[in-house]
Structure 1
Amino acid sequence: MKTKSLTFIKSYGFSLLLLLSISIGSGLGLFLKKDAALLKPLGDIFLNLLFTSLVPLVFFSISSAVAGMTNGRRLGKILFAMLAVFTLTGIVSSVLMVIGVSIFPPATGVHITLQSAGDLQALNTADQIVKAFTTSDFPDVLSKKNMLALILFAILVGLATSSLKEKGRVFADFLASASDVMMKVIDLIMYYAPVGLCAYFAYLTGVFGPELLGSYFRAMTLYYPLTIFYFFAGFSIYAYLAGKGPGVRTFWKNILPPALTALATGSSVAAIPPNLEAANQSGVPRDISELVIPIGATIHMDGSCLAAVLKIAFLFGIFSLDFSGTGTLLTAVGIALLSGIVMSGIPGGGFIGELLIISLYGFPLEAFPIISMIGVLVDPPATLVNSAGDNVCSMIVARMLGGKNWMKDADI
């Protein structure tokens, strides 16, 4: 009995500590109300530590993973499997919300006075693609604001190192060692996580609680339950597909730290470090986790796909348009996938996705503040789903490439 208790504490102790700290933080927020903002700096310290370690972690983990691949076919297989899984889970989440808004239209009975959205620049797709994947100067690559450019550069460095074979061996060893060092840095930062998350949840509950309860209530009563359902049921199904019963148990055993980090910070990117650690503990090969999770934090957004369909349906209701018919619904799913892909992994990153929705549908600019408000309200659970989805997708990719016994081979 004592052994079982020790095993339980070892497996779930830190996650339970994080839940306790979040509960305490939420209670402090309800008690302190607006004064809870005084605790925000303690949460900012945690977030800043994660962001400071983020760029070197992503660079070294991806470049070392690619450099360590002597078989270029495996890299291609990982990237192909990753994109296929990302697309399929994005479609599933979008279709789920389409069903939800068809049964429970979010804008019924909602009356909103349109306000000017101000001067907004038109969305230039070509320029946006160029800026997303490249920068004009090397220092700009080393910024969390340019994650796709950083990932592309890391892949190129890894490919160059791998192609040099013996000449690149010393540098490849350096990349692998640096990746291990950065993972250890994350371990040290996570010791501060209970304090940081407690402070952040106190701030969120105290400052934004009234708005979350009072604004767009009908839309939120649809989004939050569906997102929670997708988080628990959908990810359990995905984990089962990845590893049957052991896959489900392993996923839920390790997912809480990165999921709670994403929920508190509102950033998929901030959750990359604990997400990588959780994937490694789940037995996902590092060459898979160190590609799927950082890339997923910028282009895999199941929670944002759910939100995008909600925003589209909400605008259809506001402007008295018919949100039905196969063509309309399929278009909504496609636009949800596109807006999910262009959203960045940092707080407020839905801005471009919202502009994309307005631009592609031809809604007036006055519609922008409407869906911007929805974006703010759904951001915490959306980011939670975005981040946790990267983790379970890495497990599915491991299953696709490693076969049904991949978890046994990893000794999980």
Structure 2
Amino acid sequence: MEVKKINFLKSYSSILLLLGGITVGSIFGLVFKEKVEVVKPIGDIFLNLLFTAIIPLIFFTIASSIASLERTEKLGKLFVIMIAVFLSTVLISGIVMIIAVYIFPIHQNVIISKVPLENIQSGSIGDQIAQLLTVNDFFELLSRKSMLALIIFSFLIGFASLQSGEKGSAFRSFLDSGNEVMKQLLNMIMKLAPIGLGAYFAYQVGVFGPQLFGIYAKPLGVYYGACVFYFFVFFSLYAFVAGGKRAFKVFWTNNITPSLTAVGTCSSIATIPANLDAAEKMGIPKHVRNLVIPLGAPLHKDGSSMSSILKITFLFAMFGKDFTSPSTILLALGITVIVSIVEGGIPNGGYIGEVLAITVYGLPMEQALPVAMILGTLVDPIATLLNANGDVISSMLVSRFAEKTKW
């Protein structure tokens, strides 16, 4: 009995410390409210350390994963399955949210709150796509704002080293070695997580907590309820599809740390290390997890899909527009797919999705955008939970369909 107790404490010590830090931080936020802003820099330091290490991690994980593939045909198959899984889960999450807002319709007056707006870049669609997918100088790849460009570059480097044959073997070894070094660095940084996330939770609860009970209470209640339902019911269903009861057990016993990290940081990118570690413990093949999870962080977002539906329906209610026509719903689903691809993986990163929806539906930007931004901030924690955890469950599905993995 004593041995089991010791093993339990050893196995779950990091999770218990993380829960302890988050609990203490939340209590501080409730008690001291806005005064907890003084501890926000502690959370920022932890998050900045994570973000600094994330860029090389993504490069090495993707490049080394592709470089280690035995056949180029395997890469094509893996990509097709991954895209199919990403697209399917994003659409399913959007449909779940549409059903939720039909069951619990949002009808209320909204007070327009003024918040600082980000500068929205203007230009043709082609120019914006070019800026999204590429950069015009190498050093710009080192910014997390150029995440898609970095991923494409990492993919090309991995593929080039794969094609180089024997002459590229030393470089492939370098990529593999760099991947291992970055994993160890992130393990070191994650030891600070109980303090860093505790400070961040204190700030989130103290500053944004009161708004949850204001005019946004009903839409937030619908959103959080739908997300909790989707998280437990659909993620469990996906796990069963990936491998029955064994996969179900493997998923729910290994996703605690990624879940807490996602909620605490409000960043899919910052959750990549925890996701990779969880995927490794789940037994997902290295080349699958090192490809799906880093790619999923900026490209695959179930939570953002659901939040875009919420924002659209909320704005429709605000301006007295009808959300029931099939064309409106199909257009909303199309927007959710685009939002999932173009929104960044950083906290409250970018408002491209909001601007797109407001523009497409012809709503007044100066009135609609502040409301959408406030909603985006308030739903960010649980949206990130679905975004980040969705990458883990997607890697299980891809592993099952591509590699016939059994747990």
TM normalised by structure 2 equals 0.95
Asked if the contact 1:93–1:305 (Cα under 8 Å) also holds between the matched residues in 2, the reply is yes
Match of 1:308 in 2: 308
Change (3 A) 1:204 1:233: same
**Pairing 1:159–2:159 present:** yes
Contact 2:108 2:318 in 1 (8 A): no
Cα distance in 2 for residues equivalent to 1:388 and 1:291:
15
**Which letter maps to 2:319?**
F
Cα distance in 1 for partners of 2:115, 2:265 equals 30
Partner of 2:284, secondary structure, is coil
Provide closer, same or farther for how the CA distance between residues 57 and 113 of structure 1 changes in structure 2, counting only shifts above 3 A: closer
2:393 matched to 1:392?
A: yes
| Partner SS state of residue 348, structure 2 | coil
Partners of 1:115 and 1:32 lie apart in 2 by: 25
Cα root mean square deviation, aligned? 1.8
Instruction: Rate the CA distance shift 1:16–1:115 in 2: closer, same or farther, 3 A.
Output: closer
Paired residues, number: 405
Give 1:130-141 correspondences, 5 Å limit. 130-141=130-141
- 1:315 shift after superposition: 1.4
Query: What per-residue deviation string (whole Å, max 9, x for no partner) do you get for residues 50-82 of structure 1?
Result: 111111110011111111112011111111111
**Residue type at the aligned position of 2:380:** D
Is the 1:132–1:148 contact (alpha carbons within 8 Å) kept by the matching residues of 2?
yes
2:73 equivalent in structure 1: 73
Task: Give the deviation of 1:123 after TM superposition.
Answer: 6.4
Q: Is the 8 A contact 1:117 1:368 kept in 2?
A: no
Question: Which residue identity is paired with 1:125?
Answer: I
* Aligned positions of 1:5-404 closer than 5 A: 5-106=5-106, 108-113=107-112, 122=122, 124-365=124-365, 366-403=367-404
Work out whether residues 67 and 161 of structure 1, in 8 Å CA contact, stay in contact via their aligned partners in 2.
Answer: yes
Q: Measure the CA separation in 2 of the matches of 1:105 and 1:275.
A: 35
**Structure 1 stretch displaced more, 149-158 or 206-215:** 206-215
* Amino acid in the other structure paired with 1:305: S
Q: Secondary structure at the match of 2:351?
A: helix
1:397-412 paired onto structure 2 within 5 Å: 397-403=398-404, 406-408=405-407
The amino acid that maps onto 1:223 is: Y
Greater CA drift, 393-402 or 353-362: 353-362
> Relative to 1, partners in 2 of residues 1:31 and 1:349: Cα closer, same or farther, differing over 3 Å?
same
Q: CA deviation at 1:195?
A: 1.0
- SS of residue paired to 2:109: coil
Q: Is the 8 A contact 2:112 2:370 kept in 1?
A: no
Residues 154 and 243 (structure 1 numbering): CA distance in 2 closer, same or farther, change over 3 Å?
A: same
Shift of residue 407, structure 1, vs aligned partner: 3.4
TM-score, with structure 1 as normaliser: 0.94
> Residue deviations 1:23-45, cap 9 Å, x none?
11100111221121111122112
SS at match of 1:221: helix
The CA deviation string for residues 141-193 of structure 1, in whole angstroms up to 9 with x for no partner, is: 11111111111111111111110110000110110011011111111111111
Distance 1:117 1:7 in 2: 50
Q: What are the ranges of 5 or more consecutive residues in structure 2 without an aligned counterpart? A: none
Deviations 1:303-354 (A, max 9, x none): 0000000111111111211111322222211211112211111122240111
Cα pair distance change 1:121/1:163, threshold 3 Å: closer
| SS, match of residue 339 in structure 1 | helix
Deviates more, 1:56-65 or 1:4-13: 4-13
Give the residue type in structure 1 aligned to 2:268. Answer: S
Alpha-carbon contact 2:110-2:215 (below 8 Å) kept: no
1:247-303 per-position Cα deviation (integer Å, ceiling 9, x unaligned): 122112221212211211111111111111111111111111111111111010100
What is the Cα deviation at residue 11 of structure 1? 3.8
